[in-house]
Amino acid sequence: MAEFIEERQPLHPDYPLPDVDDPVMRPFWDGAREGRLVQQREVATGIVHWPPKPMYWKGGGRLEWFAASGRGTVYTWVVGHEPFLPAFRHLLPLILVVVELAEGPRLVGHMVRCRPEEMRFGLPVRVVFKRLTERVVLPVWEPER
């Protein structure tokens, strides 16, 4: 079952929010709102695409969205100690990660419930969902425990 975490303080007015209505990315954001990490793959080959392609790619009918496992490993990371935007000051130190999903693609995100000294290459992680607004839910990562 999906786990949701709530932002503890009001969202900063300058917090950059994704366009959840973008037609290519809409299934991804709809899935996140439902607590599902969804990915796109080719029907015939099973090749997973990230970033996703428009559904009309190569004539249409070749792509489908599916629920990914929500598990992966840390491919690389960096710890931010200075906010690159004022909206992120409360998140410091901010652990930004590239997670290699069990299904293959690599996604950029950030860690929660983790201290910088716990980080290592290959760290097993799982997705949790951080609700920023009623419509915007971010997939974020925590160590697999």
First to last CA, the chain: 15
pTM of the model: 0.94
Q: Is the pLDDT of residue 80 over 80?
A: yes
Asked if residue 51 has a cis previous peptide bond (ω within 30° of 0), the answer is yes
pLDDT in tens, 1-60: 899 998 888 999 999 999 999 999 999 999 999 999 999 999 999 999 999 999 887 777
106-128 mean pLDDT: 98
3-state secondary structure of 141: strand
pLDDT of residue 57: 79
The 10 Å Cβ neighbour count of residue 28 is 22
CA distance 20 to 27: 9
